[in-house]
Structure 1
């Protein structure tokens, strides 16, 4: 038996693969250090931009695992192992998971967009997908609202982010749009003064922007006024209901008639 031949083969094997193994270990050490640095840097950027905590954790985990898989493939390539099959398996698995969770991924993507661009925040009064309510909680897949009748409304983030969103809280003030009709026999200037007195005397109606009372239309049986007071968003419904009641009382007190439908019955004698 030629021992020297086998020793030479073993030596060549150790030299060839030893260098590869050492290289793989070096790549693993440096790669792991770089991944930690990258994750730490992304975390600082997210914290600086006030990203949602749950979104930060999810994205950091997702990026971390992606970088670790990439590092694993680089190490396999360094060891001389064919990585094409691994990449194909990962791609196929990703496609299968994506198809199975298509709706959930859409909601996740919508949640990410909402948390990044922040079209609304917790406590805002918004309208979206035909629902109106105060934002109670923003989650990865859904957004929870508290409806005006204290209902809990859960809207998928995919649909919410792809539709129109009306945020009533962004500007801090809202205009209350009301319409009141008076008789054609009533004096227009007097009617406007009576309504305006109601608006200017209400403590929750803002002076700036100033409230407005204008003739909206000459309807079939009434002259209709567009009444437009402004208030803080939190006072909207107080102003809405108070003005509706107070204007009715003020018009009655001034002797100004508010028209209402009349029904005429015609009887034919036989």
Structure 2
């Protein structure tokens, strides 16, 4: 009987593992990568010049184009702005205001006729004889060569009655200390004021006007409950004001 050595016995080799079919993600990954690479390259090509391109700041319509001559130097324009401000922005001499003049404050916006009639009805200086804007920081806008910017910090003492709208406010003897506000005058080529902006508070932590500027700041300082910007009361008041203005224009009852 022949005995076959174990070492010579045929070995049963394990079957090779079955090849797994690649998943859909594995099959499509090379194609996706190939398609993404050109898109990414194109995006980088577009982003490179865009990052290097300078975007010009926005300016008001009618602003002189870069290089376009303007008939006044910066010094002359600042002197004009200071003279306009000293004359209460057209109240003493309305000839400084262009026929297209616009009063552009956060809540109230008026044309020339409405502005003159409304503001001439205010009697702040009768009740606050030492009222002062304390204007400072006069400068010509480098992007709008026909606009002069400046700051004010309103002060005064409420020693007598004054009228605002249809209401008269009795003296409170309160010292008024307003926050810094940003204002501007825009001029045309004839040197007339085409717009007056203001009432924009630069730091509402300063003063005793509850963070408000312009006439509303004065009212807040003497104890009038004026809605704060952003509050529901403020939103209702500003919306009502715009609606009243729109109705007045539609009906022809613009003062």
With the length of structure 1 as denominator, give the TM-score of the two structures.
0.21
Choose between structure 1 and 2: higher helix proportion: 1
TM-score (norm 2): 0.22
